[in-house]
Amino acid sequence: MDTATLPRATAYNARPTIRGALRRIIAVFKDNQAFTFGVLLLLALYLFGVIGSQVVSPKKADMGANPLNLSPTWEHPLGTDGLGRDMFAVMVIGIPNTFKIGFLAGAVGVAIGTLIGLLAGYYRGVADAFFSSFADVMLVIPTLAILITVSAYVRVVTVEIMAVIVGLLAWPMPARVIRSQTLSLRERLFVEIAKLSGQNDFEIIAFQILPNLTAYLAASFVGAVSAGILAAVGLEVLGLGPQNVPTIGRTLYYAFRYTALFRGMWWWWGPPVVTLAIIFTGLFQMSTALDKYANPRLKGAMRG
Amino acid sequence: MRGMDLRYFVRRIGMFFLVIYVAASFNFLIPRLAPGNPIGAITSRMANASAGIENGQAMFEAYRKRFGLDEPIYVQYVKYLWNTVRLDLGQSLSAYPAEVWEIIRPAIGWSIGLIGVSVLLTFALGIAVGALLAWKGTPKIVKAVLPMTMIGGVLPYYLLAMLLLYIFAFTTRLFPMSGAYDSGIPRELSWQYISSIARHAVLPALSIILTSLGGWALTMRGLMVNTVGEDYMLLANAKGLPKRRILWWYSVRNAIPPQVTHLAIALGYVVSGAILVEIVFSYPGLGYQLYMSIVNSDYTVIQGITLVLAVSVGLCVLIIDLIYPRLDPRVTYVVESSG
């Protein structure tokens, strides 16, 4: 056992062939294709909402502002619903609201989860045992049931309150992922070196461990946004979402309540369904693409 | 029990009770942290219902006493937990004085039937599809067709439920639109009654199966690919065992235990989805009952159902954890004595 292997290894790394590099770039691009597609899909939908809501007067989304039950015409591109709302106006105002809930909820969930995961994984001990058990318990309890109880009492008024309530219950999954990664990172050599060179715990967590978790943070965030929108729309479909503000879920709730499905009013229930399908397709593309970075074991599996 | 010592057993049971405790505590805390005054809201609702009551204040006090709200909060908490243990979930507010438990009980069976059957079917199908996707010997045609099973995976449960309802119940009328059985059939163990139940369950079950199948198949495929490099696969091939035998008894067999763990994790999520599916199809399970209680602002029933849901998922996860060492003999929870 001598050190003969070391120089050879460096030499191999130092002389990358052009073909090899090219292949790697193409591979990365291929990996990112799904991600890029997902981002573009969501971005397009969001821009559609933002630009649309600037063009359309928000008054048209009010109840009784238009004739009832119109099928799509030039004046009402998506028709009007059974309560006289212009469906196009409802959708373009609702889309940014739904995005806002999802991203805010995802941010709250990931922020709490990351903090708990980092501290529990780094310090271990009693706090870790407590938070890990708590996260496990929270993963078992059906979140939607808790959310329904909360929203039944706190009749949610604004988009922001809704997002925070959903986000407060979205932390266990990120916490678990970040904790398990922190557990392994804290044993690594560079953390030892940082410790020996006199960095304190905060510096080690913030500058040594956290930067190594970027892929996991991104994957957790996309997952949390997805779960947040799923839960929020679920609550809205039950009529427990923000009142007086058009959201995708609330549109579905009305479509349900006034039996749009059985009255053949496809322009009432169709747009929210298609919008949600686009949102979840985009998020799904992004999360599978990120999983490849966050979970290298899947790398071979996905390419099959 | 094999592969498990008392300490693990006790810890798992403890975990189960912790789930119940946390869920019950949520139920206790949420109404008390909520802005406004639930009991005030309830009494004012009752006052409205009986068109003005004399001595409203006295009635309010009486209700506070009746529900024990005049006691200090920790006494209320202990009493609440004790009542929960005794399955005394209080009385319904909208169908007062019916017991909450009596309202919930008939719904439990329908939910267990629907969710249980769909989850088991999804689990089995997911394993088969994932295995075939990963296997080298799968015919090309099958491999091209199988990914179609994943289309439903990007849609939330309730969306697929609505689409299925529209296509198969509303437009083509192949299946009934709502309920769990045809009214007018005697509820007895007859072929007519059972087939009616089955026909009503098809669409709700399909919504659950189609939305979760893709995820199961993908993870199964990943797990299968991981077994390829293992030594026992090399040995099995070297022994010249038939390819099919290697697929099912070496590759799939070893990929199943981690899938069971995923099942334990995913169960809470599936139940959340099933709640909404039941509402879409007016299926008389816990989810639909929950929806009706929200419509009626029946807080005690809402809380009762939340608790029952948490307890049932906790129980399933407990059972999975306890049988896990049997599925995967490599896993033991026995603490090794002396190194």
Interface-testing mutation among B158, B208, B210, B223, with chain A (most A C-beta atoms within 10 A) = B158
Q: How far is A55 from chain B (nearest CA, A)?
A: 29
DSSP B46-81: HHHHTT--TTHHHHHHHHHHHTTTTS-HHHHHHHHH
Q: For residue A195, give Cα distances in angstroms to A123, A180, A192, A211, B164.
A: 14, 20, 5, 16, 59
Using 50, 70 and 90 to split pLDDT, how confident is the model at A95?
very high
Of the two residues A34 and B116, the one the predictor is more confident about is B116
Using 50, 70 and 90 to split pLDDT, how confident is the model at A159?
confident
Q: State whether A140 and B294 contact (CB < 8 Å).
A: no
- pLDDT of A2 > 70? The answer is no
Among candidates A33, A85, A96, which has minimal Cα distance to A60? A85
Angle between helices A143-153 and B299-327 (to 10 degrees): 170
- pLDDT of A243 > 90? The answer is no
| A186-195: long-range contacts, CB 8 A cutoff, minimum separation 24 | A186/A121, A186/A122
Cβ atoms A60, A91 nearer than 8 A: no
Q: Could you give the CA distance from residue B251 to residue B258 in angstroms, rounded to a whole number?
A: 13
Cβ atoms B286, B104 nearer than 8 A: yes
Q: State whether A137 and B19 contact (CB < 8 Å).
A: yes
Average pLDDT on A134-160 reads: 82
pLDDT at A6: 43
- pLDDT of A302 > 50? The answer is no
Q: How far apart are the first and last CA of chain B?
A: 22
Closest partner residue to B154 (CB to CB) among A150, A273, A280 is A280
Task: Inform me whether the C-beta atom of residue A303 falls under 8 Å from chain B C-beta atoms.
Answer: no
Q: CB-based burial of residue B320 (10 Å sphere; 0-12 exposed, 13-18 middle, 19+ buried)? A: middle
Cβ atoms A10, A268 nearer than 8 A: no
Chain A (46-85) residues lying within 8 Å, Cβ to Cβ, of chain B? none
Q: Which sign, positive or negative, has the C-alpha torsion B27, B29, B32, B36?
A: negative
Q: State whether B222 and A150 contact (CB < 8 Å).
A: no
Average pLDDT on A46-51 reads: 91
pLDDT at B300: 83
Cβ atoms A122, A162 nearer than 8 A: no
Of the two residues A14 and A251, the one the predictor is more confident about is A251
User: Residue for token digits 């995976």?
Assistant: B153
* Cα A191 to chain centroid, rounded: 30
Among candidates A10, A90, A38, which has minimal Cα distance to A218? A38
Q: Could you give the CA distance from residue A17 to residue A23 in angstroms, rounded to a whole number?
A: 10
Q: Could you give the CA distance from residue B173 to residue B190 in angstroms, rounded to a whole number?
A: 24
The first and second tokens of residue A56, run together, are 């359309």
User: Residue for token digits 């291929």?
Assistant: A30
Using 50, 70 and 90 to split pLDDT, how confident is the model at A19?
confident
pLDDT at A8: 44
pLDDT at B54: 65
Whole-complex ipTM: 0.75
Query: Among A131-140, A205-214, B85-94, B278-287, where is mean pLDDT lowest?
Result: B85-94
Interface-testing mutation among B32, B225, B291, B307, with chain A (most A C-beta atoms within 10 A) = B225
Q: Which sign, positive or negative, has the C-alpha torsion A211, A214, A220, A221?
A: positive
Q: What would the pLDDT profile of A62-78 be if each residue is shown by its tens digit? A: 777 777 777 788 778 88
Helices (H), chain B: 6-33, 38-49, 56-66, 73-85, 100-134, 140-145, 157-164, 191-228, 231-238, 243-246, 253-280, 286-295, 299-327
How many residues are given for chain A? 304
pLDDT at A294: 67
- Work out how many CB contacts closer than 8 A connect A with B: 131
Cβ atoms B290, B104 nearer than 8 A: no
* Cα B282 to chain centroid, rounded: 17
Average pLDDT on B123-139 reads: 84
Within 10 angstroms of residue B58's Cβ, the number of other Cβ atoms is 10
Q: State whether A142 and B303 contact (CB < 8 Å).
A: no
Task: Give the 3-state secondary structure of residue A86.
Answer: strand
Cβ atoms A112, A217 nearer than 8 A: no
Average pLDDT on B251-274 reads: 83
Chain A (141-160) residues lying within 8 Å, Cβ to Cβ, of chain B? 141-146, 148-150, 152-154
| Element spanning A95, H or E | helix A87-123
Q: State whether B306 and A150 contact (CB < 8 Å).
A: no
Q: How far is A155 from chain B (nearest CA, A)?
A: 9
Among candidates A87, A41, A2, A304, which has minimal Cα distance to B133? A304
The first and second tokens of residue A60, run together, are 């048209």
Q: How far apart are the first and last CA of chain A?
A: 37
pLDDT at B249: 85
Q: For residue B20, give Cα distances in angstroms to A141, B7, B87, B109, B310.
A: 9, 20, 12, 20, 7
pLDDT at A300: 44
Q: How far is B182 from chain A (nearest CA, A)?
A: 19
Task: Give the 3-state secondary structure of residue B4.
Answer: strand
What beta strand segments (E) does chain A contain? Answer: none
The first and second tokens of residue A194, run together, are 């940082």
Q: Could you give the CA distance from residue A124 to residue A115 in angstroms, rounded to a whole number?
A: 13
Q: CB-based burial of residue A150 (10 Å sphere; 0-12 exposed, 13-18 middle, 19+ buried)? A: buried
